[in-house]
Amino acid sequence: MKKQFVVFLMIYLGMFSAISQTWINFSSSSPSAPNVDLLKSNSQTVSFEITVHGIYSLDTVVNSTAFTRLTPPTSWLPAVW
């Protein structure tokens, strides 16, 4: 039961923090996953290009120090890694 509560709490807090984030667009007005293009691949090298369309901004206070946390959209990570 405790484990279920912790999982529920993590999901709830994750949804809350996602709502409070601000999208800063570079080339897309709505949040979108980066594009990953394979340029070259052989037995010795892999070259690729990542186009980031924007980033999330979240104002945070830690130990009485305010800063802005920048994070990329994470929905694309499992596809890349």
DSSP 12-81: HHHHHHHHH-EEEESS-SS--PPEEEEEEE-SS-EEEEEE--EEEEEEEEETTEEEEEEE--STTHHHH-
Confidence of residue 15 (pLDDT cuts 50, 70, 90): low
Instruction: Report yes or no on 6 lying in a domain.
Output: no
In a domain, 66, yes or no: yes
Q: Looking at residue 64, what is its pLDDT?
A: 92
Find the domain containing 40 and state its range.
Answer: 23-80
Task: Say if 12 falls within a structural domain.
Answer: no
Q: Which residue has the tokens 């979240």?
A: 58
Q: What is the pLDDT of residue 36?
A: 87
pLDDT at 21 over 50: yes
Mean pLDDT within 44-66: 91
How many domains does the chain fold into?
1
Is 14 domain-assigned?
no
Residue 37: inside a domain: yes
Q: How much is the average pLDDT of 61-65?
A: 91
Average pLDDT of the chain is 77
